[in-house]
Amino acid sequence: MEQNVKKILIIGGGYGGLKVALGLQRKLKVKADIVLISKHDYHYQTTLLHKVAIGTLSVRKARIYYRKILDCKKVKFIKDKIIKLCPKENKVIGNGGEYAYDYLVIGLGFKPDSFEIKGVEEYTYKLSSLNRALKLTKNIENKFKEFVHTQNSNDLRVIVCGTGFTGIEFAAELATQLEELCLICGIDRSIPKITCIGRSPHILPVFNPKLVSIAEKKLKDLGVEIINGGTIKEVQKNKVLVEKEGQIIEIKGNTIIWSAGVKGSEIVEKSEIPNKKGRIKVNSHLQCEEFANIYVVGDCAIAADKDAIHAPTAQLSAQMGDYLAELLCAKLEGREFERDFRFNHRGTVCSIGHTDGVGIVYHKNVSGELAAFMKNTIENRWLFSIGGFEMVFKKGQFRYRTSN
């Protein structure tokens, strides 16, 4: 009997991987050897990293420890960093050893894409992990505290490269905190500057022109400078070179954030599994076409629905995880499962500080406090799905509850 127990290995504990593990934990009716491996012993909401970076969300509140939400009798958690995939041998290799599997779920997340622009790797901060967000927090804090001694205005100039969700949410969150930072540190409010640079003709390309216009006005009211239609040519130590309308513009600032795009996992990119920039094409069952016992969720998957390719989002990853848990339960229990994966797009909200935002919810435009409320609801809904009301009360986002 023990020989028939299948080994399910889930690598990556983001939105997709964690949902697979929890779904199997709750629904699987037969015995299986289920292992979740992550390089951290905690999960965090990547959609809230901008708050951690500014200090409006504490790191203690941001961390959700796997061993607190997983039943160790059903799902074993291992903290390890995966360094190699060996699909032909049905195993993966980590720093801590080799891990064999019958079924593999890849959910290794994303990595910032520098697009091979000179200076990006050396001189920019990225909002791609909790640890990186904390480094940015420390940098901003030090720049403001030390200004009384340095008197260097460029120390208080922040450049955000990228005008998608990550860049805009970070810029807005910082802008809403500048007044207080200046008050605490005794700095003239007119000195700090935030500049957002985007290649698109307008910010937040996924939104319609009406929402974009509302968002741009809100940002400008907060004092954020926006440069649309600019191509970043090079990042230097304390400045960014931007080409716009045939002219090279020099933007100075001693803190540069890179949020211009992401790609899939580097581990996947270097593997023998066919992929495009670390992302694997999957079929309608989220199954790798070359290796039938490998499934992919989240940012590592290229999941196509008819002619539309889904952009990687937390919402998409979570739905992939739920779907795959059901599929694997059916497979292990010997039941038929013919349903294809279909993404149900419930909406998207971009926060502009803690109490403002813009977005689309069930095909309707929302803005202002309603948008902020919906954003908090989305974040709290995720927490409820992994830990119930207790998790929401402990870690949730509420109208007037920040770490400030």
Residues known to be catalytic? 169
CA distance 274 to 222: 45
Local structure of residue 130 (DSSP, 8 states): H
> Residue 295: phi, psi to the nearest 5?
-120, 155
Q: What angle, 0 to 180 degrees and rounded to 10, lies between the N-to-C axes of helices 165-185 and 130-150?
A: 40
Nearest by Cα to 164 from 328, 52, 50: 50
In our burial notation (b when 16+ CB lie closer than 10 A, e otherwise), range 344-367 reads eeeebbbbbbbbbbbbbbeeeebb
Cβ atoms of 234 and 241 within 8 Å: the answer is yes
Which residues pair with residue 231 across a beta bridge? Answer: 243
Cβ atoms of 285 and 340 within 8 Å: the answer is yes
Cβ atoms of 295 and 287 within 8 Å: the answer is yes
Total residues found in the chain within this entry: 404
Cβ atoms of 373 and 31 within 8 Å: the answer is no
CA distance 378 to 315: 9
CA distance 366 to 360: 6
Cβ atoms of 71 and 386 within 8 Å: the answer is no
CA distance 40 to 166: 22
Q: C-alpha angle 202/204/208, rounded to 5°?
A: 80
CA distance 148 to 297: 48
Give Dmax (Cα) for the chain: 73
Contacts of 142 by beta carbon, 8 Å cutoff, 6+ apart: none
